[in-house]
Structure 1
Amino acid sequence: MANDKRSQSAKRNEHNKRNKRLPQPDERQAILTEQRRLKMARSPHAYVRGATAQFYEWIVETNGSSLPHGPAVWICGDCHTGNLGPLANQDGKVEIHIRDLDQTVIGNPVHDLIRLGLSLATAARGSALAGLTTVHMMEALAAGYESAFATQRKKPALPERPEPVHLAMKQAVRRSWRHLAEERIDDLKPTIPLGKRFWPLSRNECKSIDALFRDEAIASLPTGLRGRKDTGAVEILDAAYWVKGCSSLGRLRYAVLLDVDGGVIEGDDLCLMDIKEGVKAAAPRYGDAAMPRDNAERVVEGARHLSPFLGERMRAARMLDRAVVIRELLPQDLKLEIDEISEDEAREVAFYLAAVVGKAHARQMDPPTRRAWLAELRRNRSKTIDAPLWLWNSVVQLVSSHEAGYLEHCRRYATGVN
């Protein structure tokens, strides 16, 4: 940071610390642990989103041997509904993609399908939908996923967007820097206000962020977007530790506000960067799969295969001796809010989101592999449900185990028993 900007930021941090007593770096872990517990106790669907490790424990210990051995492709690894949504590429085009790749590995694609099925079934239960509706959702889920492999096109097309997805897309394409600033940092000023969502940095963290953006490969991220000068100077205006729910726990996570080209003009000259630690994935990988050993490089490589719009906007780096992923947050980047769903929308949403995941998997397969995988998906059907029995049985058992886990989590959180 420039000396004058550093001085302003330091004074503001000291003012906030005196008046709000914000958590210091050595106090973060305990507070984040409590926040994570509280967030997961809000609803069964919130619990499912935060229980990735429990999901894979069940997959491996309970049902892993009964699942088909799908082609070796990059999978999301944490494919719940909140991890899908509109994303913009560097040229401003917006599409629905997988938007969070922390857990990405080269593994079994059925894991993504089951995780999405669990998420949708939990949303249906939270919306008080009939059990028969969940049956129909799982049938639509299977059909939507298979549609990506049934076409002869090299790039499978998505079906017509259901209303909840269409509304999210309309909102995304209309958004500007003003919307992003008001949503993420509650302000249009070129500072990050410390408070509930942003906490002060240590001196070592400030120095490390400064060093990170002196790297030309990292500094070129915001200058690569359409409408910005490739040679534009990048200056750090402000930075803070970013409290981001379950994903912040025990990880490096920072928001960095940059000025590109100078002048601090609202719009294209300002950008908000997200620095997130890459950690070991809970999702099981195929043993013979060749993946980057560095966790940040793994996340970036997975994004390039699964969500090209996001992958082209990400870089892997090292900070404070840890692997981190850096990307610019764009106004068009949104997550789908499917916590509640109507009966009329349930099947359409399940079909569409499964098609998005299927497209991400299918683009990594050659035609013979697609055909063989489609044939496997269409096996083992019963007369009572038009979906693979392994998918239905997995979702039923997972809904049951996660419901019990959620209630036990609430008891422990409420009583303080560990």
Structure 2
Amino acid sequence: MAVAPDERAAALLRTRSLKMARSVHAYVRGNTAQFYEWLEESLVAARIPEGPPVWICGDCHLGNLGPVADADHRVDIQIRDLDQTVISNPAYDLIRLGLSLETAARSSDLPGVTTAQMIEAMIDGYSRALTPTIDDDPREPDVVRSVKREAIGRRWRHLAKDRLEDVKPVIPHNKRFWKLASAEKTVIAALFADQAIRARCMELAGVVGDGRLRVVDAAYWRKGCSSLGNLRFAVLIGISSGKAKEERLALVDIKEAVASVVPVAGKMTMPADPGERVLAGARALSPNLGQRMIAADLMGKPVFLRELAPQDLKIEVAQFSRKEAVAAASYLSFVVGQAHARQLSDSARLTWRETLTARDDGIDAPSWLWQAVVAMAGAHEVGYLEHCRRFGLNG
């Protein structure tokens, strides 16, 4: 039986609250809007340097970085979620990543000195990415190397087993996938019948000339945290070329594109349509992902589509050792730095690097970054406990 949209919204709101109550690390992931509100209200806000305006992730936490395959299935570690992307101050991505690393370290019972070392390692890794001639990438930490190795070896059967529980061409109805109303099925079928969408899907599938595309199955996808409550559909499509009888299956993620909560730099011009904005940001920050995405409109709302590649995985951290935490901070900051740097000229890179590496006290990391991460860690610890109290009383 399909879940009515109003009932679905209420259930998703409770799910989101439950996810955010699991740990302060999870709370940070689902608290993007208040992160920027609290940052603006903090005493350190005035000390954050104004970097060159570039496309930034906007929600740059650990779970939004990981292996991402390009259209030819080559795998790189890149930003994997661009819902909040805007043209803005790149310092925001550093602060948000620093906060995510700090909460992951605290969840691993690591001492505060490790956080200080991670912030220093972040600046080192990010600065390397801004240096035009350097050929000395930070070492891949074990947590990154293992997930990348797993990603490279994955094929469609692994995706089907993870997402669909089987290789059969059907999306199971369970706690993750909910049955759709007939009207929702109709508009999804119409979306893939659209000539432009169909042609782009064929292109991404490598089909040249005549081909067939059909919607095999679809379901509402209860996925994510901060995006819960918005449109999210998993669609299984079948694509075949010419007279070929064999059909290639693909799992497509349709996600509602919403207005970003991230402060925009000055008078920068961006696509007014949220789906087109996400697509533009993805192409700038995460080329592997951007080349596999399509902006569209569904049920009167902007959405973006992307085929889920078996190689797309997130970096999951159950427990960090001190050494792994510092190595991850350096390497992931390098990845973010690469995403920012590819949008800048060599001279702009060096100017931004000099601004970031300027020291105003005795520690290696700039004090504005350290103070911003500490301030946000304190604010989110308080917010998390209040969230747990409200959720516990009303749950």
Q: Is 1:398 matched up with 2:379?
A: no
Contact between 2:31 and 2:226, CA under 8 Å: does it hold in 1?
no
Counterpart of 2:386 in structure 1 is 408
Q: Is 1:208 matched up with 2:187?
A: yes
Aligned-pair distance for 1:264?
Answer: 8.5
Aligned-pair distance for 1:157?
Answer: 7.0
Counterpart of 1:70 in structure 2 is 51
Contact between 2:119 and 2:329, CA under 8 Å: does it hold in 1?
yes
Counterpart of 1:57 in structure 2 is 37
Structure 1: 4+ residue segments shifted above 6 A: none
Give the Cα separation in 2 of the matches to 1:191 and 1:378: 53
Aligned-partner residue type, residue 382 of structure 1:
D
Equivalent of residue 377 in structure 1, options 348, 356, 377: 356
Counterpart of 1:45 in structure 2 is 25
Aligned-pair distance for 1:59?
Answer: 1.8
Counterpart of 1:80 in structure 2 is 61
Counterpart of 1:95 in structure 2 is 76
Contact between 1:303 and 1:311, CA under 8 Å: does it hold in 2?
yes
Q: Is 1:187 matched up with 2:197?
A: no
Contact between 2:39 and 2:376, CA under 8 Å: does it hold in 1?
no
Counterpart of 1:174 in structure 2 is 153
Give the Cα separation in 2 of the matches to 1:346 and 1:353: 10
Aligned-pair distance for 1:195?
Answer: 1.7
Q: Secondary structure at the match of 1:315?
A: strand
Aligned residues: 392
Question: Which segments of 5 or more consecutive residues in structure 2 lack a partner in the other structure?
Answer: none
Aligned-pair distance for 1:226?
Answer: 6.5
Aligned-pair distance for 1:221?
Answer: 4.1
Q: Is 1:232 matched up with 2:205?
A: no
Equivalent of residue 288 in structure 1, options 252, 258, 267: 267
Aligned-partner residue type, residue 117 of structure 2:
H
* CA-to-aligned-CA distance 1:329-381 (integer Å, 9 cap, x gap): 00000011134311121111100000000000000001111111011011134
* CA-to-aligned-CA distance 1:187-232 (integer Å, 9 cap, x gap): 2111111121111222221121111111233223443347655643
Aligned-partner residue type, residue 87 of structure 2:
I
Give the Cα separation in 2 of the matches to 1:273 and 1:401: 37
User: Relative to structure 2, which stretch is displaced further, 240-249 or 311-320?
Assistant: 240-249
Q: Alpha carbon RMSD of aligned pairs, Å?
A: 1.8
Aligned-partner residue type, residue 249 of structure 1:
L
1:5-404 correspondence to structure 2 within 5 Å: 17=1, 23-62=3-42, 63-152=44-133, 158-225=137-204, 229=208, 231-261=210-240, 269-383=248-362, 385-404=363-382
Aligned-partner residue type, residue 144 of structure 1:
G
Contact between 1:24 and 1:200, CA under 8 Å: does it hold in 2?
no
Give the Cα separation in 2 of the matches to 1:231 and 1:110: 48
Question: How many percent of aligned residue pairs carry the same amino acid?
Answer: 52
Contact between 2:139 and 2:327, CA under 8 Å: does it hold in 1?
no
Aligned-partner residue type, residue 380 of structure 2:
H
Give the Cα separation in 2 of the matches to 1:50 and 1:350: 21
Q: TM-score, normalised by structure 1?
A: 0.90
Give the Cα separation in 1 of the matches to 2:10 and 2:351: 49
Aligned-pair distance for 1:162?
Answer: 1.4
Give the Cα separation in 2 of the matches to 1:293 and 1:239: 29
Aligned-pair distance for 1:244?
Answer: 0.7
Counterpart of 1:9 in structure 2 is none
